[in-house]
Structure 1
Amino acid sequence: MDQITAMRVFARVVEAGTFTRAADSLQMPKPSVTKLVQQLETHLRVKLLQRTTRRVTVTPEGAAYYERTARVLAELADIESDLSNAQANPRGRLRVDVGSSFANMILIPQLPAFLARYPEIELEIGVSDRPVNLIGDAVDCVIRAGELSDQTLVARRIANLSFVTCAAPAYLERHGIPKTPADLGDGTHRVVGYFSSLSNRPMPLRYVQGEDRIEIHGHTAVGVNESTAHLTAMLTGIGVAQTFRVMAAPYLASGALVEILQGWAPEPYPLHVVYPTNRHLSAKLRVFVDWAVELFAPHNAHPPAR
């Protein structure tokens, strides 16, 4: 048995929650994963995992073993990184998950520059507004807007994004231009809504002006749970919508959208790169995070806290 390989496989099974997902993320046959874990248990003479038909549960002994071996594997990764000069030449697969509109409008168009700078990094980009399980899905980091609620994750704030309320000219010609946020809640206007893909709760339109804070739940003509679709629906002239200014900027410049309710907007929204606390901050992840900070810097409402 290759004990180091067996330790890495065991750690991946613990993180993924099933042998199948661990095998997929390691690109190994499932029988090989199962055999390595069994050999490790035989070598240690202790049961590390309790197996059921649907999920794997870590035994107390397995949890203690995982905690200590995770540190050992991180140290090994550091050694390998130093010996291979990876700090100067980051390399390898990096799995990133990012929201749809950020991916399509900001990140992906700038990938040629990133790949020219780091040609030995192989990027895999998951595009979705639905939150992912970073450990279970073997994702190295995610780019997400909002406050960090999971204290088991590490977040670096890369931007603070401002909002804009806008509508297509055709909509404003038919329904008129709202003068205050209250106009959006009086039944005369329709809203292109956004609802959470996790909780299915609709997001209200939020406004701040001085000490005044207002939430509007207007008449929703259409509600979507994906940011690119939200922008597309806005462009059709269905209704008024609130979105990040960086998303609307090209369409405001072209006249396809018109900004309304200037002077009313919510507080800037934080944007983070998030990764697990037990995920080794490798050279490839470090340079990607630094690049993401550069990428979003022009769109800051004010500089992010470090």
Structure 2
Amino acid sequence: MGQSDEMAAFLHIVERGGFAAAARGSPQTPSALSKLVQRLEARLGVRLLTRTTRRIALTPEGETYAARARDILAMIEATETEVTAGRGRPRGHLRVNTGTAYARHRLIPLLPAFCAEYPDITLDLTVTDRRVDLVAEGADVLLRTGPLDDSTLIARRIATGRRVICAAPAYLDRRGTPRQPNDLLAHDCIMLHGQARLTIWPFHDGEGLAALTVPGRLATDSAEALRDMALAGLGVIRISEFVVREDIAAGRLVSLLAAQHASEEVPVWAITAPGRHRMPRIRAFVDFLAAHAAA
């Protein structure tokens, strides 16, 4: 077994979470996979995995090895695919990670067309609103909105949105409609916790921009839950417009302070690890989103 095969086997064990799971559907037994890791650790002179009776976990050295192994295998695949590019369409398994709101309102409606255009690409979609590490998560593409945290990654803007302030008619009947930004100080504003910048709402004040830190008793880690809480009449929210566009059109939510609100652009990014963005299946997916997501 060559080094690239060892790397692939090691990553398969890590991604499946154990030797038994990795052996399912594989010609190798759990014992053979365990011995493979032992030989690898002996050659490198470091411990890559910690093992218990129920699970495995990467050591710091194992995390480094796994990250580099993914990059190396991606480069091998990209090189081989480039050489044979004229022989067929992009193919292979694609792992995508995105937030709940973007998945529901933008990505999933586009997937039927993507799957029809690229039938040889299989796709594994992970949906979470927590911030994830691209390499540690084993994802090929992260789709995220707003400013980026890590400048070492490759990011391509695939769409641009804006934010709106809104609340349900029932809440406004009960608490009144804010007419000026400072009126929000007497209202319940619902927040996305873990993102302090989103508690500061920008407004035009006649001389430029003014930042208002809004109050609120409720918070959530999900943009989709934020919308649902507003629909339930729990308070005022500031959210990406694409999440609530249909609700505002149908009257389930009411847009507020539109003239004063400084609705800055909200970029939508497709984020990949350096080197992996050239892989045909990843490039095909990102190109497809760039062509269709804005609409």
TM-score with structure 1 length normalisation?
0.79
SS of 2:278's equivalent in the other structure is: coil
Report the alpha carbon displacement of residue 275 of structure 1 after superposing the two structures with TM: 1.4
Equivalent position to 1:291, from 268, 288, 294: 288
Structure 1 275/22 Cα, relative in aligned 2: closer, same or farther at 3 Å?
farther
The two structures, once aligned, show a CA RMSD in angstroms of 3.3
Matches within 5 A, 1:86-125: 88-125=88-125
SS of 1:136's equivalent in the other structure is: helix
Report the alpha carbon displacement of residue 273 of structure 1 after superposing the two structures with TM: 0.9
What do residues 31-68 of structure 1 show as CA deviations (whole Å, max 9, x unaligned)?
444333444566xx552545545542439xx979986x
Identity of aligned residues (%): 31
Find the aligned partners of 2:87 and 2:242 in 1 and give their Cα distance: 32
Partner of 2:279: 282
What do residues 233-268 of structure 1 show as CA deviations (whole Å, max 9, x unaligned)?
111122111111111111111111111101213421
The answer to whether 1:253 aligns with 2:249 is: yes
Structure 1 41/195 Cα, relative in aligned 2: closer, same or farther at 3 Å?
closer
Aligned partners of 2:23 and 2:30 also within 8 Å: no
Partner of 1:213: 210
Matches within 5 A, 1:186-265: 187=186, 189-196=187-194, 203-209=198-204, 211-220=208-217, 222-263=218-259, 264-265=261-262
Structure 1 47/161 Cα, relative in aligned 2: closer, same or farther at 3 Å?
same
Aligned partners of 1:3 and 1:40 also within 8 Å: no
SS of 1:142's equivalent in the other structure is: strand
What do residues 124-165 of structure 1 show as CA deviations (whole Å, max 9, x unaligned)?
110110122222221111101122222332211222221100
Report the alpha carbon displacement of residue 22 of structure 1 after superposing the two structures with TM: 9.1
Aligned partners of 2:160 and 2:294 also within 8 Å: no
Structure 1 266/296 Cα, relative in aligned 2: closer, same or farther at 3 Å?
same
What do residues 69-88 of structure 1 show as CA deviations (whole Å, max 9, x unaligned)?
77764443134314554785
The answer to whether 1:173 aligns with 2:146 is: no
Report the alpha carbon displacement of residue 176 of structure 1 after superposing the two structures with TM: 1.8
Partner of 2:54: none
Report the alpha carbon displacement of residue 110 of structure 1 after superposing the two structures with TM: 1.9
In structure 1, give the amino acid aligned to 2:276. R
Report the alpha carbon displacement of residue 166 of structure 1 after superposing the two structures with TM: 0.7
5+ residue gaps, structure 2: 52-56
Structure 1 208/160 Cα, relative in aligned 2: closer, same or farther at 3 Å?
farther
In structure 2, give the amino acid aligned to 1:123. L
5+ residue gaps, structure 1: 299-306
- Which structure shows the higher helix fraction? 2
The answer to whether 1:58 aligns with 2:53 is: no
